[in-house]
Chains A and B, each alone.
Chain A
Amino acid sequence: MQAKRVTFPSKITPYLLLLPQVAVTLVFFVWPAGEAIVSSFYAQDAFGLSETFVGLANFAALLRDPAYLQAIGVSFVFAFCVTTLAMGLGLLFATAADAVGKASGVYQVLLVWPYAVAPAVAGILWMFMFDPSVGLVARALRGVGLSWNHFLDGGQALTLVILAAAWKQVSYNFLFFYAGLRAIPLGALEAAALDGAGPWQRFRHIVFPLLAPTSFFLLVVNLTYAFFDAFGIIHATTGGGPGRATTILVYKVFRDGFEGLDLGGSSAQSVMLLLIVIALTAMQFRHIERKVSY
């Protein structure tokens, strides 16, 4: 990482400037993360009085625990559905907005604002619409013979949180896809049109390849969102249930740590999550590097 060619000669000033950021990072990021890693190798007794080094036993126990394996499964189903739905709709609306020309500014304003809604609030809005006794959608569904009760039916609960999570994320994907579409040179599309390429062929051979970097970036962002930020949606609505039907990994760490008070197990889960974040960040970083080398 390079500095400016011309720099100031001061010796102490840069350290003072960095001090606040470095202090916050060390105290609230590095220290707790270090503790999580260390305690993931220890087991506590029932009273939390003594600790024994157990090596990888916490991790082994985790990977044998059906509840944890189920949480992995739920997380992946959740992340896959949210990402597919939010990116698909984002691309659809971006393509449509790109096609309508002048009026697209109005649509942009109308489509973008859900980004500002907190995940927890989004979850509560959807939960209300689907509330079995008073919800509008639940009543409509009952009208067509489908009984809806996400307090009892795990599949329905998962569907509900997926819808709420995707709803909130569409606007983000829309914005980036829209910017990506606008950056595609008109000349290339005109030339293809002159050569007789139809809309689908133009999309397949010109638009799609040029959107690939944006799509890859959005894929990583959406997965991160579904794995981590969606905590608010789950916690505020289903509470991980019914049963464990909507318990994603982040929610399980929270519950085992704060309600189960299982320090070693929760720390081992934290470390697993850490690995997921590192993988996602590395993917994102590769993408940034590639963009720089263009």
Chain B
Amino acid sequence: MVGTSRLQLILAHLALIAGVAIMVLPVYVAFVASTHPGADFLAGRVGLVPGPDLVANYRLALGTGSSTAGIPPVAPMLWNSFVVALLIAAGKIAISILSAFAVCYFRFPLRVAAFWLIFITLMLPVEVRILPTFQVVARLDLLNSYAGLTVPLIASATATFLFRQVFMTIPDELTEAALVDGAGPLHFFWFILLPLSRTNIAALFVILFLYGWNQYLWPLLVTTDASYYTVVMGIRRLVGAAAEADPVWHLVMATAILAMLPPVLVIALMQRLFVRGLTETEK
């Protein structure tokens, strides 16, 4: 910025360090808690210094859980979350890029109607139609299945608009050349549009993977069978169990750390794609 004095610079650094501290503190506290034996909690021995049980706690949380406290193992939940996030991200991208291709590169009678139908999904988040959507999914016999966890969430107006924006910047000369060469629309889509949208797809994938991983309400509604729990919604069961039985905060916090590790790693490792995806989809 212009004319930043030394004092202002120091203040800026201080503000940012304080900000980072606020961001890190809850996670650090959780991490410390996840390294202590369960008995340390009520004894008040859990502060800001990690304990000795890091490996034991995580092994317990991942592998066996705690049958006495009614805590299921976390590893299968992580796997479910991974599958669900992957299916949601891939599904949203696939059906959105096809729709964007259709409304951009063809003229057909119901084009505008299709556009509005897709647009309408923006106004109908799952929170608004909780009960009836649940009933529809139950009627289709999709409860406790990966299909039920993912398909109802994969319609996406924002992804469709994003791809439409990308396609509108692609020169018409390419389409003309394809037409002259006698290439069909699917050829054109596969060999020209898809390669040209590669970065946008990657950026969008990062955002949608996080979206899928962090779903809470929907998995809560459509799963009653513990083998389909995702970790973000399953963690709530642990808290419930923790409130009743012996303190199992160490397992709850280990699960919390495990639940946020994959998405945080995705952001940290793919910072550039993440920022790009975020700013693009929200325009």
CA distance A287 to B275 in the complex (A): 21
- Within the complex, what minimum Cβ distance (angstroms) separates B51 from chain A? 13
- Quick check: is A117 within 8 A (CB to CB) of the other chain? yes
Most buried by A among B44, B102, B129, B283: B129
Beta-carbon contacts under 8 Å, B207-240 to A: 210, 213-214, 216-217, 220-221, 232-233, 235-236, 239
Is B2 a contact of A100 with CB atoms below 8 Å? no
Is A120 a contact of B216 with CB atoms below 8 Å? yes
- Quick check: is B68 within 8 A (CB to CB) of the other chain? no
User: Contacts A167-B22, A253-B127 hold; do A7 and B33 have CB atoms under 8 A apart?
Assistant: no
Is B23 a contact of A110 with CB atoms below 8 Å? yes
- Quick check: is B160 within 8 A (CB to CB) of the other chain? yes
Comparing A51-59, A60-68, A76-84, A88-96, the segment that makes contact with chain B is A88-96
- Within the complex, what minimum Cβ distance (angstroms) separates A74 from chain B? 16
Q: Which of B47, B103, B235, B275 contacts A1 (CB 8 A)?
A: B103
Is B151 a contact of A28 with CB atoms below 8 Å? yes
Is A21 a contact of B131 with CB atoms below 8 Å? no
Q: Which residues of A contact B4 (CB under 8 A)?
A: 99
Is B279 a contact of A179 with CB atoms below 8 Å? yes
- Within the complex, what minimum Cβ distance (angstroms) separates A214 from chain B? 11
Most buried by A among B26, B96, B111, B239: B26
CA distance A116 to B269 in the complex (A): 12
Beta-carbon contacts under 8 Å, B14-44 to A: 15-16, 19-20, 22-27, 29-30, 33, 41-42, 44
Is B128 a contact of A273 with CB atoms below 8 Å? yes
CA distance A116 to B137 in the complex (A): 28
- Within the complex, what minimum Cβ distance (angstroms) separates A241 from chain B? 13
Is A112 a contact of B267 with CB atoms below 8 Å? yes
- Quick check: is B253 within 8 A (CB to CB) of the other chain? yes
CA distance A110 to B268 in the complex (A): 9
- Quick check: is A258 within 8 A (CB to CB) of the other chain? yes
Is B239 a contact of A124 with CB atoms below 8 Å? yes
Q: Which residues of A contact B282 (CB under 8 A)?
A: 176, 217, 221
Give the nearest-CB partner of B233 in chain A.
A120
- Quick check: is B56 within 8 A (CB to CB) of the other chain? no
CA distance A224 to B216 in the complex (A): 16
Q: Which of B42, B172, B260 contacts A5 (CB 8 A)?
A: B172
Q: Which residues of B contact A232 (CB under 8 A)?
A: 216-217, 232
- Quick check: is A246 within 8 A (CB to CB) of the other chain? no
CA distance A29 to B130 in the complex (A): 10
CA distance A81 to B239 in the complex (A): 26
Q: Give a binary string over B46-61; 1 marks a CB under 8 Å from any A CB, 0 the rest.
A: 1110000000000000
Q: Which residues of A contact B101 (CB under 8 A)?
A: 17
Give the nearest-CB partner of A278 in chain B.
B123
- Within the complex, what minimum Cβ distance (angstroms) separates A236 from chain B? 5
User: Contacts A139-B44, A274-B123 hold; do A117 and B217 have CB atoms under 8 A apart?
Assistant: no
- Quick check: is B95 within 8 A (CB to CB) of the other chain? yes
Is B213 a contact of A14 with CB atoms below 8 Å? no
Is B42 a contact of A33 with CB atoms below 8 Å? no
Q: Which residues of A contact B249 (CB under 8 A)?
A: 128, 131, 134
Is A33 a contact of B124 with CB atoms below 8 Å? yes
Is A116 a contact of B266 with CB atoms below 8 Å? yes
Q: Which residues of B contact A136 (CB under 8 A)?
A: 29, 46-48
Q: Which residues of B contact A89 (CB under 8 A)?
A: 19
Q: Which of B122, B184, B260 contacts A281 (CB 8 A)?
A: B122
Give the nearest-CB partner of A292 in chain B.
B283
Q: Give a binary string over B136-150; 1 marks a CB under 8 Å from any A CB, 0 the rest.
A: 110010000000000
- Could you list which residues of chain A lie within 8 angstroms of chain B, going by C-beta atoms? 1, 3-8, 10-11, 13-15, 17-18, 20-22, 24-33, 35-36, 39, 89, 92-93, 95-100, 103, 107-122, 124-129, 131, 133-134, 136, 139, 167, 170-172, 175-176, 179, 186, 189-190, 192-193, 199, 202, 217, 221, 228, 231-232, 235-237, 250, 253-254, 257-258, 263, 266-267, 270, 273-274, 277-278, 281, 288, 291
Nearest first, the 3 A-B pairs at minimum CB distance are A32-B132, A116-B263, A232-B216
Question: Assuming A22-B118, A125-B27, A193-B2, what are 17 further A-B pairs, CB within 8 angstroms?
Answer: A14-B102, A15-B102, A18-B102, A24-B155, A31-B132, A36-B132, A92-B15, A96-B15, A107-B19, A111-B16, A116-B264, A125-B256, A128-B26, A134-B42, A193-B3, A274-B123, A288-B283
- Could you list which residues of chain B lie within 8 angstroms of chain A, going by C-beta atoms? 1-4, 8-9, 11-13, 15-16, 19-20, 22-27, 29-30, 33, 41-42, 44, 46-48, 94-96, 98-99, 101-108, 110-112, 114-115, 117-118, 120-125, 127-137, 140, 151-152, 154-155, 160, 167-168, 172, 175-176, 179, 184-186, 188, 210, 213-214, 216-217, 220-221, 232-233, 235-236, 239, 247, 249, 252-253, 256, 259-260, 263-264, 266-268, 271, 274-275, 278-279, 282-283
A-B contacts, 11 listed (Cβ < 8 Å): A3-B111, A7-B106, A18-B99, A18-B102, A99-B8, A99-B12, A116-B266, A134-B249, A193-B2, A232-B216, A235-B217
